[in-house]
């Protein structure tokens, strides 16, 4: 049995996404996979168990969420607490995927904690970093070196597709000079961090009027009403699986959107849709969402939600697997874990 410790120096860079993808890949290779995300604090922050809930579903785990995401308070010896939590989730497993944080320097408290966890579990470590302009190996070397020989390498995530090749060449060279292995440079794909129709309704405080069973469908694109009916059909036809935002005084725009491949239609204002729009939406199986907010407020709410969006739907796993097969060095990871592939 071996622990794969996914660590990042910042939040929301994609550790759970990569953990889910690697976990599913391991399952496909016939390995038994577990998960552990210890919370080192006196009490659990709100939402801290969300990733564990998701990984429990993805990996079909039987352990309770409290075991997958245990609270380890400062009153306990950290190494003992981590080992105890690890033993609880590792029965009959080949690999345990562990999530954690570290700082950007070796003397940071987060870094010291992550080093202790890695040491207690004899874990193999993969650093996950989000792409940003001016990213350099020097920024992270200090924080990485505390893992010593247990560090397998670095995965750079959320790289804009337009910069992918250049970043691959430049970053790989820089990190190699610092004797750090690049295990993957992963493109930013909004499909992995989009939301469902139901989540959208919650974000904009809207009400789903019909076809509620479609609330689990994923929204891939966002479009706002066009200027004229003629341009509307052409405009809305450019993107599929989209949400369309249209004012309540523009039933012509609403009808144009319903003629195209639309996931849901959001109608802003206090009036709501006319009967003909309702009938058309019902016939096409397209959910209507009404909200009293104006269009600009709706769009801002959606943009805010996208910035905070997390990888949390199993439907995205197929796309994730495709990305990882192309851009992640599974051979190096398996070799580092001592697993045959």
In tens, the pLDDT along 207-236 reads 999 999 999 888 988 999 865 556 678 889
- Residue 113 near residue 7, CB atoms below 8 Å: no
Integer CA distances (angstroms), 171 to 26, 104, 156, 167, 178, in order: 27, 18, 9, 5, 11
Instruction: Indicate the pLDDT class of residue 63, thresholds 50, 70 and 90.
Output: very high
Q: Give the pLDDT confidence score for residue 47 in this predicted structure.
A: 78
Q: Does residue 239 surpass a pLDDT of 60?
A: yes
* 178 vs 85, higher pLDDT: 85
Q: Give the pLDDT confidence score for residue 310 in this predicted structure.
A: 62
How far apart (Å, rounded) are the C-alpha atoms in residues 207 and 315?
24
How far apart (Å, rounded) are the C-alpha atoms in residues 208 and 281?
12
Task: Convert the pLDDT of each residue in 105-154 to its tens digit.
Answer: 888 899 999 999 999 999 999 999 998 876 766 777 778 889 999 999 99
Q: Give the pLDDT confidence score for residue 170 in this predicted structure.
A: 84
- Residue 200 near residue 194, CB atoms below 8 Å: no
Task: Convert the pLDDT of each residue in 257-311 to its tens digit.
Answer: 999 999 999 999 988 999 999 999 999 999 999 999 999 999 999 888 776 666 6
Q: Give the pLDDT confidence score for residue 15 in this predicted structure.
A: 94
Q: Give the pLDDT confidence score for residue 42 in this predicted structure.
A: 87
Q: Give the pLDDT confidence score for residue 174 in this predicted structure.
A: 79
Q: Give the pLDDT confidence score for residue 307 in this predicted structure.
A: 65
Q: Parallel, antiparallel, or unpaired for β 221-224 and 242-247?
A: parallel
Q: Give the pLDDT confidence score for residue 125 in this predicted structure.
A: 98
Instruction: Indicate the pLDDT class of residue 40, thresholds 50, 70 and 90.
Output: very high
Instruction: Indicate the pLDDT class of residue 75, thresholds 50, 70 and 90.
Output: low
Superfamily holding 2-189+311-337: P-loop containing nucleotide triphosphate hydrolases (3.40.50.300)
Q: Give the pLDDT confidence score for residue 179 in this predicted structure.
A: 82
Q: Give the pLDDT confidence score for residue 6 in this predicted structure.
A: 98
pLDDT above 70 as % of the chain: 94
Q: Give the pLDDT confidence score for residue 234 in this predicted structure.
A: 86
Q: What is the mean pLDDT of the chain?
A: 90
Q: Give the pLDDT confidence score for residue 141 in this predicted structure.
A: 77
- Surface-to-core class of residue 134, CB atoms within 10 Å of its CB (0-12 exposed, 13-18 middle, 19+ buried): exposed
Instruction: Indicate the pLDDT class of residue 200, thresholds 50, 70 and 90.
Output: very high
User: Domain 195-308 has what CATH class?
Assistant: alpha beta
Q: Give the pLDDT confidence score for residue 132 in this predicted structure.
A: 82
Q: Give the pLDDT confidence score for residue 50 in this predicted structure.
A: 86
Q: Give the pLDDT confidence score for residue 315 in this predicted structure.
A: 72
* 138 vs 179, higher pLDDT: 179
How far apart (Å, rounded) are the C-alpha atoms in residues 33 and 94?
6
Average pLDDT over residues 246-257: 93
Q: Give the pLDDT confidence score for residue 176 in this predicted structure.
A: 79
- Residue 214 near residue 285, CB atoms below 8 Å: yes
Q: Give the pLDDT confidence score for residue 233 in this predicted structure.
A: 82
Question: Which residue ranges make up each domain of the chain?
Answer: 2-189+311-337, 195-308
* 180 vs 311, higher pLDDT: 180
Average pLDDT over residues 174-178: 79
Q: Give the pLDDT confidence score for residue 177 in this predicted structure.
A: 80
Average pLDDT over residues 60-87: 93
Which helix (H) or strand (E) element contains residue 200? Answer: helix 197-203
Q: Parallel, antiparallel, or unpaired for β 288-291 and 207-208?
A: antiparallel
Q: Give the pLDDT confidence score for residue 303 in this predicted structure.
A: 82
């Amino acid at each position: 049995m071996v622990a794969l410790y996914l660590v990042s120096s910042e939040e929301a860079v994609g550790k759970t996404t990569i953990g889910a993808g690697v976990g599913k890949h391991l399952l496909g290779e016939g390995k038994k996979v577990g998960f552990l995300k210890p919370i080192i604090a006196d009490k659990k922050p709100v939402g801290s168990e969300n990733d564990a809930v998701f990984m429990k579903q993805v990996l079909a785990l039987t352990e309770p969420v409290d075991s997958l995401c245990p609270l380890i308070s400062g009153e306990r010896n950290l190494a003992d607490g981590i080992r105890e939590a690890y033993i609880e989730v590792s029965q009959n497993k080949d690999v345990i995927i562990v999530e954690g944080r570290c700082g950007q320097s070796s003397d940071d408290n987060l870094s010291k904690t992550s080093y202790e966890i890695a040491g207690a579990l004899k874990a193999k470590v993969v650093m996950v970093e989000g792409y940003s302009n001016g990213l350099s190996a020097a920024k992270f070397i200090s924080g990485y070196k505390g893992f010593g020989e247990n560090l397998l390498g670095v995965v750079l995530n959320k790289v804009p597709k337009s910069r992918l090749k250049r970043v691959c060449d430049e970053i790989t060279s820089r990190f190699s000079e610092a004797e750090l292995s690049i295990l993957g440079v992963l493109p930013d794909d909004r499909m992995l961090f989009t939301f469902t129709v139901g989540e959208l309704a919650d974000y904009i405080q809207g009400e789903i009027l019909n076809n509620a069973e479609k609330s689990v469908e994923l929204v891939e694109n966002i479009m706002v009403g066009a200027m004229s009916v003629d341009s509307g059909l052409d405009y809305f036809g450019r993107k599929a699986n989209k949400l369309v935002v249209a004012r309540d005084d523009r039933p012509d725009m609403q009808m144009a959107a319903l003629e195209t491949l639309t996931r849901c239609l959001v109608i802003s204002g206090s009036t709501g849709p006319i009967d003909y729009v309702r009938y058309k939406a019902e016939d096409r199986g397209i959910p209507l969402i009404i909200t009293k907010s104006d269009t600009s407020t709706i769009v801002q709410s959606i943009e805010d939600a996208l910035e905070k969006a997390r990888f949390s739907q199993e439907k995205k796993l197929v796309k994730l697997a495709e990305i990882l097969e192309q851009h992640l060095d599974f051979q190096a990871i398996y070799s580092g874990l001592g697993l045959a592939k």
